């Protein structure tokens, strides 16, 4: 049971899909409970997995050292004759980079499940899409096979498109198509690189089985692997015996790249004047930056958020954005580390641009949800900054910030939804003095706002602080982030405080007043118990993480250290090789 827990996590929603589809429409009241039960179970499992991971004692994978609870099954194997052999695995596993993400997505999905209570249209379709989305999100976070990752990554698009396009606001078609096209453009770039990687990378484990060094995959030892790698690099393995692979852990080691292939370090292929590896790095980076999103690829986000129904906004901000950041640290950095070293200041420029530019935009917004959406972009800029710094505190901070932002933005969108449910209006300037009508709501919003603007004792502070510390540390040591950028990034904190406080002042304080355009059926009721159940745990989580950030940071840090080792050892090596090889 414990060994298969990750698969259970991924496919639990699909199991829940069966009763959902079987039940007739007349029983539509049960749908939400099915979804809730699935999400609840998943959250319990995710917490269990997290605890399991963070306590020492879990066996690591014998070959891919860091990973725990790995599952590896042959999925598609085709002999391609002279080209070699194609092998796609169902390969999932847990390490520091994704363990927090799994926990986050389970929690956010649960909150979204509760938040979906208010959906009334086409319930069956809605919940079915939600469950499919759930599976693909967890699959995406857990898969260690690039093909599998991409499959889940793409599969997320479909339910999202329909969830925005059918259950969204008045401009939903526009928003959903924009979302779809943007993300699809990103995925195409990713796909192109994945295909190239496939032709370039050999799986030493399966190759050694094929060469007869071991009887089956389970019997392969680390020794075999290094033997095969040595043979591969000295071109002793015939081409038809090489097993091509999509394994991400295999891609991170330069020894697994087949000599003479597209992405091997010695390759002489150029693309648009750049060495192909650099071009591939940029393509992959761009694909994930769109998802993150970083300025200037961000304009899909405000529209998608504004039009999406509350639970979908929650999922979008809480989980889907994180896949961009996760993709960066899972694939881009370890596979093309020299790109990270070479383009470090470019990435951090985008990060700082995101932080400041999106914050300025948030300041200018008149729509509450749009303001929150832009604040999301600004906060995700800190994630990018932390990643770009390439320092332990920076990347740890980035992962922490992803988690924290997932929790906080979920809370913020829920809060915006609370108001929207009552009045169907989100204009900031249409309200004043809500505090006197909805005191508890005001307290919740105040806490969420202050947590988001980086007040200590809340998780947002830790994430931003670590990113900034990392950025400046990087300025003084590895130079990936120039000084002026790390100093400019600090401004984001000030602007963040400005727009949040200004909104708070305009909407919640002062004498009660609402615009005449607002028509509301029921009165300004304060939070009901369902809304409390959603908001209070989020607030507690952000508070606990703000006071004890070690809960989240400590399990992560081992993997981050390895990642940084990869970036700087093989990254610098590769860069040097490439520079010697041609004048870069």
Partner 1 sequence: MNSYLITDLDNLVYFSLIAALLPLSAFFILFFFGKKLPRKGDWLATLLIGLSFILSLLVFFSVWEGRAGSMTFQWIALSGIPENAFSISVSIDKLSSFMILTVCLISLLVHLYSMEYMKGKLNYTRYFPYLSIFTFAMLGLVISDNLLITFMFWELVGFTSYLLIGFWFTKEEAVKASKKAFLFNRIGDLGFLLALMIIWSFAGTFEFQYLGDSFEDQSIWFTLAGLGLVLACIGKSAQFPLYVWLPDAMEGPTPVSALIHAATMVAAGIFLLAKVFFLLSEDVLTTIATIGAITMLMSAIPALFQNDIKKVLAYSTISQLGYMFVGIGAGVPEAALFHLFTHAFFKAGLFLSAGAVIHYMHEIKHVLFHEGVYNDFDAQDMRLMGGLRKRVPLVFIVFIVCSSSLVGLPLLSGFLSKEAVIGAAFNWADSYSNTNNSFVYYLIPLSCFVTAFFTALYMIRQLMMVFFGDFRLENLIPYLNAKHEHHHQSLLISLPLVVLCVLSFALPFSLNPFSPQSSWFLKEFNQLFESNLEFAHWVTYTTVLLALAGIVLGIFTYRNKVYISDKAEKSDVLELFGHNWYLEKFYYKAMVLPGFRLAFYTTKIDYLIDRLIEGTAIAYVVLSHIVAWFDKNIIDGIVRLMATLAVFISGFFKNLQSGKVQQYFVYTLATVMILIYIFFNWMK
Contact residues for 475 (Cβ-Cβ < 8 A; gap 6+) = 481, 482, 483, 485, 486
Of 294, 537, 545, 295, which Cα lies nearest the Cα of 397? 545
Q: Which stretch binds partner 1 (CB under 8 A): 141-149, 262-270, 475-483, 566-574?
A: 475-483
Q: Which stretch binds partner 1 (CB under 8 A): 103-111, 248-256, 409-417, 460-468?
A: 460-468
Q: Give CA separation, 475 vs 315, 356, 424, 494, 560, in Å.
A: 35, 19, 47, 21, 19
How far apart CA 365 and CA 367 sit, in angstroms, is 6
**Binding partner 1 by CB under 8 A: which of 465, 485, 538, 578?**
465
Q: Which is nearer to partner 1, 95 or 393 (CB)?
A: 393
Of 432, 407, 421, 428, which Cα lies nearest the Cα of 546? 407
Q: Which is nearer to partner 1, 421 or 561 (CB)?
A: 561
Site string for partner 1, 177-216 (x = CB under 8 A): -x--x-----------------------------------
**Token pair belonging to 458:** 């809340």
* Residue 332: CB minimum distance to partner 1, A: 20
**Binding partner 1 by CB under 8 A: which of 518, 548, 569, 582?**
548
502 binds partner 1 (CB under 8 A): yes
Site string for partner 1, 289-328 (x = CB under 8 A): -------x--x--x--------------------------
155 binds partner 1 (CB under 8 A): no
494 binds partner 1 (CB under 8 A): yes
491 binds partner 1 (CB under 8 A): yes
* Residue 428: CB minimum distance to partner 1, A: 13
Q: Give CA separation, 53 vs 322, 349, 398, 489, 531, in Å.
A: 20, 35, 20, 34, 32
How far apart CA 311 and CA 315 sit, in angstroms, is 6
468 binds partner 1 (CB under 8 A): yes
Is 11:137 a contact under the CB 8 Å cutoff? no
Q: Which is nearer to partner 1, 80 or 181 (CB)?
A: 181
Three state DSSP letters for 502-557: HHHHHHHCCCCEECCCCCCCCCCCCCCHHHHHHHHHHHHHHHHHHHCCHHHHHHHH
490 binds partner 1 (CB under 8 A): yes
**For residue 575, what is the enclosing H or E element?**
helix 550-581
Burial zone of 51 (CB within 10 Å; 0-12 exposed, 13-18 middle, 19+ buried): exposed
Q: Which is nearer to partner 1, 155 or 349 (CB)?
A: 349
509 binds partner 1 (CB under 8 A): yes
Give the Cα-Cα-Cα angle 312, 315, 317 (nearest 5 degrees): 105
| Residue 515 phi, psi (nearest 5) | -65, 150
Q: Which stretch binds partner 1 (CB under 8 A): 204-212, 255-263, 420-428, 473-481?
A: 473-481
501 binds partner 1 (CB under 8 A): yes
Interaction site with partner 1 (CB under 8 A): 178, 181, 296, 299, 302, 357, 360-361, 363-365, 392-393, 396, 433, 435-436, 450, 455-457, 461, 465, 468-469, 471-473, 475-477, 486-487, 490-491, 493-495, 497-498, 501-502, 504-505, 508-512, 548-551, 553-554, 557-558, 560-561, 564
């Amino acid at each position: 049971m414990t060994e298969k827990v990750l698969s259970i996590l991924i496919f639990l929603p699909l199991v829940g899909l069966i009763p959902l589809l079987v039940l007739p429409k007349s029983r539509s009241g049960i749908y939400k409970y099915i979804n809730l039960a699935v999400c609840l179970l998943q959250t319990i499992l995710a917490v269990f997995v997290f605890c399991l991971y963070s306590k020492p004692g879990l066996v690591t994978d014998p070959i891919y050292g860091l990973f725990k609870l790995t599952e590896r099954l042959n999925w598609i194997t085709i002999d391609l004759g002279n080209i070699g052999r194609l092998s796609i695995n169902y390969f999932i596993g847990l390490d520091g980079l994704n363990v927090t993400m799994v926990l986050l997505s389970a929690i956010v999905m649960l909150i979204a499940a509760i938040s979906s209570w208010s959906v009334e249209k086409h319930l069956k379709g809605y919940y079915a899409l939600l469950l499919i989305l759930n599976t693909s999100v967890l699959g995406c976070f857990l898969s260690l096979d690039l093909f599998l990752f991409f499959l889940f990554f793409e599969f997320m698009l479909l339910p999202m498109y329909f969830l925005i396009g059918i259950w969204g606001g008045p401009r939903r078609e526009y928003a959903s198509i924009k979302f779809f096209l943007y993300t699809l453009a990103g995925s195409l770039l990713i796909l192109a690189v994945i295909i190239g990687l496939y032709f370039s990378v050999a799986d030493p484990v399966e190759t050694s089985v094929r060469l007869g060094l071991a009887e089956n995959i389970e019997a392969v030892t680390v020794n075999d692997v290094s033997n095969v790698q040595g043979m591969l690099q000295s071109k002793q393995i015939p081409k038809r015996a090489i097993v091509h692979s999509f394994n991400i852990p295999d891609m991170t080691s330069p020894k697994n790249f087949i000599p003479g292939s597209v992405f091997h370090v010695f390759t002489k292929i150029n693309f648009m004047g750049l060495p192909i590896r650099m071009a591939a790095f940029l393509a992959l980076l761009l694909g994930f930056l769109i998802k993150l999103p970083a300025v200037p690829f961000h304009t899909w986000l405000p529209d998608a958020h504004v039009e999406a129904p509350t639970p979908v906004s929650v999922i979008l901000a809480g989980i889907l954005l994180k896949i961009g950041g996760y993709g960066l640290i899972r694939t881009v950095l370890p596979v093309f580390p020299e790109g990270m070293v070479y383009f470090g200041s470019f990435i951090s420029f985008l990060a700082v641009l995101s932080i400041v530019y999106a914050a300025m935009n948030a300041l200018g917004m008149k729509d509450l949800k749009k303001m929150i959406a832009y604040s999301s972009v600004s906060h995700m800029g800190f994630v990018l900054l932390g990643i770009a710094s390439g320092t332990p505190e920076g990347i740890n901070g980035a992962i922490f910030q992803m988690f924290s932002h997932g929790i906080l933005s979920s809370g913020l969108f829920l809060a915006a939804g609370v108001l929207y449910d009552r009045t169907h209006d989100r204009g900031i300037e249409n309200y004043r003095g809500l505090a006197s009508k909805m005191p508890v709501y005001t307290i919740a919003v105040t806490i969420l706002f202050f947590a988001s603007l980086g007040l200590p004792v809340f998780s947002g502070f830790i994430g931003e602080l670590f990113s900034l510390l990392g950025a400046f540390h990087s300025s003084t040591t590895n130079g990936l982030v120039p000084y002026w950028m790390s100093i400019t990034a600090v401004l984001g904190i000030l602007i963040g405080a400005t727009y949040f406080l200004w909104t708070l002042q305009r909407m919640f304080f002062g004498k009660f007043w609402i615009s005449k355009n607002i028509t509301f059926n029921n009165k300004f009721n304060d939070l009901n118990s369902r809304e409390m159940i959603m908001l209070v745990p989020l607030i507690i989580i952000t508070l606990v993480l703000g006071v004890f950030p070690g809960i989240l940071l400590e399990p992560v840090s081992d993997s981050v250290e390895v990642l940084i080792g990869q970036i700087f050892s093989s990254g610098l090596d590769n860069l040097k090789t490439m520079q010697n090889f041609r004048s870069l």
